[in-house]
Structure 1
C-alpha cells in the first residue's frame, strides 16, 4: 500500500466527519452562510499557512499552495474591507507542525479539500450566482490545474515516504482533519 493509499484509508472516518460538518446545501443556501464559512476557512488557512511556513516556507510546492489570500479576495468581493479581514479570528490551537513529515500530512488535508472545492464552486455558482471573479476564487483556486497540482503533491509525498515517516504523516493528517472540523463547526 502506498502512502497515499494509506492516508485515504486511515483518514476515512475523519474525512467523513468533516464532510458532515461542511453541509453543502447550508453553505450555499444564502450569501450570508457562504460568507460565514469563508470567514472560518480564512481563519484556518491564515493560521495554518503561517505555521506550515515555519517548516516548509521556502519550498515551492508549499508556496504555490497558499490560499488564504484567495479567501481574503473573495471576502473583499463579498463586501468586507481590508481592516475587517485583518481582524478575523484565526484558528487556535493548531496541530503541531514541527517537521516536513507533519507538514506534508497536514498538507494532504488542505490539498484534498481543494479537490472538493470544485463541487462547492459549482453549487455556489448555481445557487448564489458566484464566479471566481465575484467571490468564489478560493474554491476554484487551481482552475484547470487542479488535477496536475494534486498529482505533483502526490509525487512529492511518495518521495518522502518511508517506514519511519509514514506514520507521522498519517497522524498529522488525522489531527489536521480534526482541528479543521472543530474550527469549521463553530461557524454553524
Structure 2
C-alpha cells in the first residue's frame, strides 16, 4: 500500500458501508421529506450517544500535539448540544442520553484516524442534509442545525481538505494502514447498527 493513497484506499474499501449508512431510517426519511421534528431530535440524540464516548477516548492522545493538529476544533458534541437544547432538551436530559454500548476500539492512533475519516467525511454530506432539513422542517443552521452545518457551508471543504492533508502527512506502516481501514469500516457498521 502506498501511504499517499490512504484516502483513496479508504474511499474504495468503505464504499459499501458508506452506502449502507446513507440508507439508515433517519437519512431515508430526510431525503423523502417524511422526517418529523421529533425524529430529527431522535436522530441527533443517536449521534450524540455515539460520538460523545468516542470524543472522550480520542482527545488525549499525544499525537495531536506531535503533529500540531487542533483536534478540539473538530468536536461535534458542542454542535449537538446546541441543537438539542434548541429542540427542547435540558442539559440534564442531554447528559442522561443513552450512549452506544458498542463503539469502535480507539486505543491506537491509526484507529482514531479511521474513525475520524468517517466523521469528518460526513460533514460534506451534512451540507446536502442541511439543505433538505431547511426546506422540510425549517431547520436553521445557526439555531437547531449546527451539527449538520459543521464548520459552515463556506468552511466545510477547507476543513475536509485540511484533514485529508493531515492524514496523508502521518507516516503509517502497512499494518497501521490496515488498522485505519478496519476502524473506518467498524465505525460505519456500528454507527448504522446504533441508528437502526
Q: CA separation in 2, counterparts of 1:83 and 1:67?
A: 19
Pair 1:165–1:51, CA change in 2 (3 A):
same
Q: CA separation in 1, counterparts of 2:96 and 2:57?
A: 18
TM-score by length of 2: 0.88
Establish whether residue 170 from structure 1 lines up as the match of residue 181 from structure 2: yes
Establish whether residue 108 from structure 1 lines up as the match of residue 113 from structure 2: no
Show CA shifts across 1:81-122 (max 9, x none): 111111101112211111111100110001011111111111
SS at match of 1:89: coil
Q: In the TM superposition, what are the counterparts of 1:36-55 in structure 2 within 5 Å?
A: 36-55=42-61
- Note the residue ranges of structure 2 that are not aligned, 5 or more in a row: none
Establish whether residue 34 from structure 1 lines up as the match of residue 37 from structure 2: no
Task: Kindly tell me the number of residue pairs found equivalent between the two proteins.
Answer: 185
Q: In the TM superposition, what are the counterparts of 1:92-107 in structure 2 within 5 Å?
A: 92-107=101-116
Pair 1:108–1:56, CA change in 2 (3 A):
farther
Establish whether residue 15 from structure 1 lines up as the match of residue 24 from structure 2: no
RMSD: 1.7
TM-score by length of 1: 0.92
Establish whether residue 68 from structure 1 lines up as the match of residue 71 from structure 2: no
